[in-house]
Amino acid sequence: MRLVLLGPPGAGKGTQARALATLWGIPQVSSGDLLRTVVREDSELGREAASYMDRGQLVPDELVLKLIDERLRKKDARKGFILDGFPRNVMQAEALAKGLDKAGLKLDKAVAVIVPDEEIVKRISGRRTCAKCNAMYHVAFEPPKKPGVCDKCGGELYQREDDAEETVRERLKVFAEATRPLLDYYGRLGLLEQVDGVGRTDDVEKRILSAVNGVAPPPN
């Protein structure tokens, strides 16, 4: 299964991508996580990436494409992958298609998770992320058992700098301008499925599973 998960920030792509990755035994590949790893290394490149991310802007395609290319070449991605947060614009989508084509591969589906803007602002302001394993929580809707501590790995939970309300609104604007055109792009290729991203996490997961029905391997 080679799947792209599309959707605005806070649509639940990360949570869904992780759940599906576990179900299908393939990796979740998140460009945001790859970039945050680079930022943590405190290099010149990391500082440059952070200057875009902190403002809610897209990081230049060149860096993102390099990180994704390196990640998809790893052995665990041979069986398939779930792309989360990539591609973010048509240029990235075309580069992905070209790279896959070279390897004799193609995408199976692009699933867009649809959530209204106001719901997103509400969700993101309460979001907390694990510094160690990137698991996500929400202070009201999905709190960890112990405040500030990850249930899965015991890592520290923090609020991402770009989850502040003003930055979220900028990220939504960037989504509308740069990323939404991908719905048409994948629609024209006959790969697009749209699912309602409002509701319980497991209900949204069921909707995604039914959208990719026929392509997905049976659960283990």
Distance CA 196, CA 209 (A): 12
Distance CA 200, CA 203 (A): 5
Exposure b/e, 165-191, CB count within 10 A at least 16 = b: eebbebbbebbeebbeebbebbeeeeb
Nearer to ligand AMP, 183 or 220 (CB): 183
User: Given candidates 2, 18, 71, 88, which one binds ligand AMP under the rule CB under 6 A?
Assistant: 88
User: Given candidates 59, 110, 112, 115, which one binds ligand AMP under the rule CB under 6 A?
Assistant: 59
Question: Is the bond leading into 87 cis (omega within 30 degrees of zero)?
Answer: yes
Catalytic residue among 36, 88, 109, 123: 88
Scanning 29-37, 104-112, 113-121, 180-188 for contacts with ligand AMP by CB under 6 A, the matching segment is 29-37
Site string for ligand AMP, 170-209 (x = CB under 6 A): -x--------------------------------------
Residue 109 is a catalytic residue: no
Catalytic residue annotation: 13, 88, 127, 160, 171
